Structure 1
Amino acid sequence: MSRVENSPLRGWIVTIMLALFMVINFMDKAILGIVAKPLMAELHIQPAEFGLIASSFFLLFSISAICFGFIANRMSSKMVLLILAAIWGLSQFPLAFAASVPLLFFSRILLGVGEGPAYPLALHACYKWFPNDRRNLPSAVIYQGVTLGLLISGPILTFILVRYSWHAAFMTLAVASLVWMVVWFILGAEGRVTSDSETRVHLSHTAHVSYRTLLTDKTFLGNMALYWTTYWIFALMFTWIPSYLSTVLNYSPTETGWMFMLFTGINVPIVLGGSWLSQFLLKRGVASVRARAGLSCIFVLVGGLFICLSLFAVQQPLLKVILLAIGCNLPQLTFVLSSTIVAEIIPDAQRSGMMSVNSALATTGGLIAPALMGRFIQSAATPAAGYDTGFLVAAILAIAVSVIGFLIINPEASKRRFAARALPATPRVRPAGAALAK
């Protein structure tokens, strides 16, 4: 059976801290979109250039995710997450005092270095406390930190922007990172759950599978493609939706903050409900190919259809926002289930690295999407036409990738394949020739 050396209560305390970690993480991401109008006006930035600044966040995002992921295979999660939070704070402080286009690029690139590994490593830390069939719910709780960050970033950062300045908004987030570091240093801890042979199809947690085999697996690739498409949509959401609400739909700055809160709030019942349904199906004995992979594909497919409805079926602004919000939020169930699929099929000793590779490859969608949307907006006859083109591209991607996912993602088949090709890990402590204890 799985081995748990710490209390479940402590595991949930750590999970809540990881959720707060993601709150700050996604407020950091959302702030650029929220301060876009005054920032662009003050620094005379055009939409295409702003799109490049937004995309620069992802320049080293994936590389950092991979590097820190493999570091986390050997270093405690507590220490790695402290380092990441420190990078966040350091990247935000300069913008509290000065403003220039080069400084914006530098700040967003550095922030991307710190935030690229954040989500997969937060989940990796969480999975040390929960066995495979109980990971959906804590994963969803951590992901709700993402939702909460986007929810409160609208009204809170908009209030600070209007009441003080956009510089003060960056200062607020820098201080928040430092406060989290102090609390995490006190409360953070390492879990001790390891996977057993029953749940891993006789693939020991000490086994090793070649990375070539892992990276070319159909389940890994199809699962990552779903994640990539979801991140494409998500990057558009936190970068361009606030500007879309104010520029195209003519909401005031305060109304935009609250509308963005409602836009992201739809995520809560979608992701929590979808995660609960997936875990319920797993508990009832439904295979992961349906309970996790199939459900992810359905949510991404329906999300793409709702985005299309928002573009072609309605003209009333509020209805357009509601349909677009549902379309952008439905695929986000993938952020929870994609990571649980990777954790399910990968040997424990390689889990952190492969979860980070999955995230790193998937989040390259965020490198492309904001810049491409900026190009569409600047080159279109009207801003509204440019936004529509960008959203349509996202919808087409969602529909196409979900169909492919239905055809190739099969966690059970991948586990059998990895088990057949696994080699025992090289012992680090025991002398050569020592028997592996089970």
Structure 2
Amino acid sequence: MAGPRSPWGTTWLLLVFMLVNFADKAVLGLAGPDLMRDLDISRQQFGTAQSAFFALFSLAALGVSYLTRTVRTTVLLLAMALLWSAAQLPMLWAGAGFATLVATRLLLGAAEGPAAPVAVHHVYGWFAQRDRTLPTAILMAGAAAGVAVAAPTLSLVIEWWGWRWAFGAVGLIGLVWAAVWWRYGTEGPLAPEAGTAAEDGVGGADGTQPELPLRRILASGTFLSACVATFAAYWLMSAKLTWAPDYLETVMGWSGRQAGLAVGAVALTNGAALLLHGLLAQRSATRDGRAAPRVRQGAGAGLLMLGSAAAVALFALSDTPWLTTVLMFGPLSLAMVMMTVGATACARITPPSQRGIVLGALTAVFALGGVLAPAVLGRIVDAAPSADTGYRNGWLLTAALLAVGGALATAFLRPQRDAVRLGVPEHDLGRAPVAH
């Protein structure tokens, strides 16, 4: 069995990191109905509080990802986990109101913005390029697992002890993870050493790959299409995370516990889709790394997004309860594959020493979906003559975004072609691949 200081041991530790990360995000949506009643705030105000989480999210993702050049990722990950807990625990105070909620969500967003790019960059230090799809999928599945575990668990916490203790619970769990990471977290043998990146166009003495002008990477078709597609996928995820509990209670007539269980079960299907895709991609790479796939990875993910767009549109227009339930537990999850494909594609076209920055830039762009989706959908629902009509309009807008992202990914997400054009070799240089 892999120990904690091994490729897969590190992957499992970071899976828990991502699980806590998304439990932190989910708590506000799950506490939403009770919180809005107790604090006497509107849906638009609630959407504003949720959007506050993402106000500094993108800036922090860029800034902290840039620090990966000079600061070890083990230190950055530990600091983030501690800040998460510091941001959640003030809501335990009985006097904490709307202003405290917004302030703590701002801090939480700043601390969690860099989480995904730094975690992915760290785990890539343990795996060679061809082996990265499955560990990336596992980390991305942490989002689904976080919601799947948090939704029913925090729903029970809210029912038994009140919504404030839901914030307290995730804060305490973050402290536990930080203590474990302090003991076991370490850099992988393929990680670029902080502060020793090669200059643009000049290889390092140890065989490190020369860096490229960032503008060339950021202007590539692969990076730009990955940004649009992951933005749309993240918009869908943020919309469901924020508004699905209220939608299921207000429009579908479900109880709070039923809504929490449903959101958790839907999250499990998201995770299953990511893991299945990762396993299939890993199997393909292991079977024959030289064989060209029948469908390009980017095109395949783009087609899945188009299928998800059609499912969301049907979900919005259907009045049949069994059909909307079936759509929730499958087709709506297809777009999430793009989160894995986008990250691995951008890593493929980037020299290792610049990988953290490029992954941070990708996160900064797609996180805007998290900024906009809660507020925009909240405004659409509040402005509509009924919640039913408002949610229908909001889901149709989401379907349109997914269709655009899927079409662009199908046409332009070509990491292998762009890597060759940029001169980025397929495997990490200077070190042997990790056995695992």
Q: Which moved more, 1:321-330 or 1:287-296?
A: 287-296
Q: Which residue of 2 aligns with 1:354?
A: 358
* Counterpart for residue 317 of structure 1: 321
Aligned-partner SS, 2:6: helix
Contact 1:143 1:335 in 2 (8 A): yes
The two structures have a TM-score, normalised by structure 2, of: 0.90
Matching residue of 1:35: 31
CA distance in 2, matches of 1:194, 1:255: 44
- Give the drift of 1:405: 1.7
- 8 A contact 1:289–1:409 mirrored in 2: no
CA distance in 1, matches of 2:6, 2:143: 22
Residues 8 and 129 in structure 1, CA contact (< 8 A), matched pair in contact too: no
Q: Which residue of 1 aligns with 2:12?
A: 16
- Give the deviation of 1:205 after TM superposition: 4.2
- Which residue of the other structure, out of 110, 114, 118, is the alignment partner of 1:113? 110
For residue 167 of structure 1, report the CA deviation from its aligned partner: 0.8
C-alpha separation in 1, matches of 2:113 and 2:415? 25
Q: By how many angstroms is 1:8 displaced? A: 10
Partner of 2:277: 274
Retained in 2: the 8 A contact 1:140–1:272? Answer: yes
Supply the distance in 2 between the matched residues of 1:172 and 1:330 (Cα, whole angstroms). 31
Q: Go from structure 1 to structure 2 and tell me whether the alpha carbon gap of 1:8 and 1:175 turns closer, same or farther (over 3 Å shift).
A: closer
1:412 matched residue in structure 2: 416
> Aligned AA for 2:147?
L
Match of 1:76 in 2: 72
Deviations 1:223-279 (A, max 9, x none): 111111111111101111111111111111111111111121211321111122223
Cα 1:8–1:85, aligned 2, differ >3 Å: closer, same or farther?
Answer: closer
Q: State the one-letter code of the partner of 2:22.
A: F
The alignment yields a C-alpha RMSD, in angstroms, of 2.3
Paired residue secondary structure (1:35): helix
Offset of residue 286 of structure 1: 4.7
Q: Is the 8 A contact 2:300 2:410 kept in 1?
A: no
Is 2:377–2:391's contact at 8 Å kept on the other side of the alignment?
Answer: yes
Is 1:377 aligned to residue 374 of structure 2? no
Aligned partner of 2:219 in structure 1 is 216
Find 2:145's aligned residue among 130, 145, 148.
148
1:45–1:191 distance in 2 versus 1, CA, 3 Å: same
Q: Does 1:261 align with 2:282?
A: no
2:198 is matched with: none
Q: Is the 8 A contact 1:289 1:411 kept in 2?
A: no
Aligned counterparts of 2:291 and 2:322: Cα–Cα separation in 1: 39
In the alignment, the residues of structure 1 paired with residue 360 and residue 353 of structure 2 have an alpha-carbon distance, to the nearest angstrom, of 13
How do residues 109-258 of structure 1 correspond to structure 2 at under 5 angstroms?
A: 109-193=106-190, 205-258=208-261
Rounded to whole Å, the distance in 1 between the matches of 2:334 and 2:31 is: 26
Question: Per-residue CA shift, 1:347-385, capped at 9, x if unaligned?
Answer: 011001111111111111111111000011101111011
Tell me the distance in 1 between the aligned counterparts of 2:301 and 2:208. Answer: 26
Q: Give the partner amino acid of 2:55.
A: L
Secondary structure of 1:208's counterpart equals coil
Unaligned 5+ segments in structure 1 are: 1-5, 196-201, 422-435
What are the within-5 Å matches in structure 2 for residues 420-435 of structure 1?
A: none
How many residues align structurally?
Answer: 412
Q: 1:33 and 1:367, CA in 2 relative to 1: closer, same or farther beyond 3 A?
A: same
Contact 1:346 1:354 in 2 (8 A): yes
Counterpart Cα distance in 2 of 1:29 and 1:274: 24
CA drift at 1:389: 0.7
* Contact 2:142–2:271 (CA under 8 A) maintained in structure 1: no
Deviation track 1:149-193 (CA, whole Å, cap 9, x = no partner) reads 100111110100000011111111110111000001111110012
Distance 1:332 1:224 in 2: 14
Q: Distance in 2 between matches of 1:437 and 1:374?
A: 50
1:429 aligned partner: none
Q: Supply the distance in 1 between the matched residues of 2:3 and 2:251 (Cα, whole angstroms).
A: 51
Match of 1:293 in 2: 298
- Structure 1 counterpart of 2:71, one-letter code: M
> Quick check: 257-266 or 115-124, which moved more?
257-266
Question: How far, CA to CA, are the matches of 1:107 and 1:288 in structure 2?
Answer: 46
Provide the rounded CA distance (Å) in 2 between the counterparts of 1:288 and 1:343.
19
Would you say the 8 A contact 1:263–1:321 is kept in 2? no
| Residues 107 and 219 of structure 1: CA distance in aligned 2, closer, same or farther (over 3 Å) | same
Q: Distance in 2 between matches of 1:287 and 1:246?
A: 48
Work out whether residues 237 and 328 of structure 1, in 8 Å CA contact, stay in contact via their aligned partners in 2.
Answer: no
Contact 1:288 1:411 in 2 (8 A): no
- CA spacing shift, 1:212–1:262, aligned 2, 3 Å: same
Q: C-alpha distance in 2, partners of 1:278/1:302? A: 19
Cα distance in 2 for partners of 1:105, 1:288 equals: 47
Query: Take 2:118 and 2:167, find their aligned partners in 1: how far apart are those partners?
Result: 24
- 1:90 pairs, out of 66, 86, 92, with 86
Aligned to 1:66: 62
Q: Take 2:66 and 2:399, find their aligned partners in 1: how far apart are those partners?
A: 34
Note if contact 1:219-1:411 (Cα within 8 Å) is conserved in structure 2: yes
How far apart in 2 are the matches of 1:376 and 1:290? Answer: 38
